[in-house]
Amino acid sequence: MTEPLRWVKSSYSNNGGSCVEWAPSHASATGVVPVRDSKRPTGPVLLLSADAFAGLIALARTVEV
C-alpha cells in the first residue's frame, strides 16, 4: 500500500494569491517533486524532477507580483 502524500504549502500561501503545495518527503525519497494548486487539492498534480523544480523556484523568485 502506498502512503498518501504529505503536502506542504508554499511560504507565500498567506498572501491571498495563487498558492502551490509540494510533497518534500516524496521528493526526498524518489527524486520526483509533486506540485499542486493548494486551492484544488483533488485537482491535477504536476510531477517535476528536482532540477526542474529548482528551476521553477528560481523563475518564481524573479517574478514581481
12 belongs to a structural domain = yes
Domain that holds residue 54: 8-62
Q: Where are the beta strands (DSSP E) in 1-65?
A: 8-9, 20-22, 32-37, 46-49
As for how many domains the chain has, the answer is 1
What would the grid cell of residue 31 be?
Answer: 527524486
56 belongs to a structural domain = yes
Residue-wise pLDDT for 5-38, tens only, equals: 999 987 665 655 668 899 999 999 999 999 999 8
Q: Do 8 and 22 contact (CB within 8 A), yes or no? A: yes
47 belongs to a structural domain = yes
CB-based contacts of 46: which residues, under 8 Å, 6+ apart? 34, 35, 36
36 belongs to a structural domain = yes
Q: Give the global pTM.
A: 0.78
Residue 16: its pLDDT value, please?
59
Residue-wise pLDDT for 36-50, tens only, equals: 998 898 999 999 999
1 belongs to a structural domain = no
31 belongs to a structural domain = yes
2 belongs to a structural domain = no
Whole-angstrom CA distances from 45 to 35, 58, 65 are 6, 20, 24
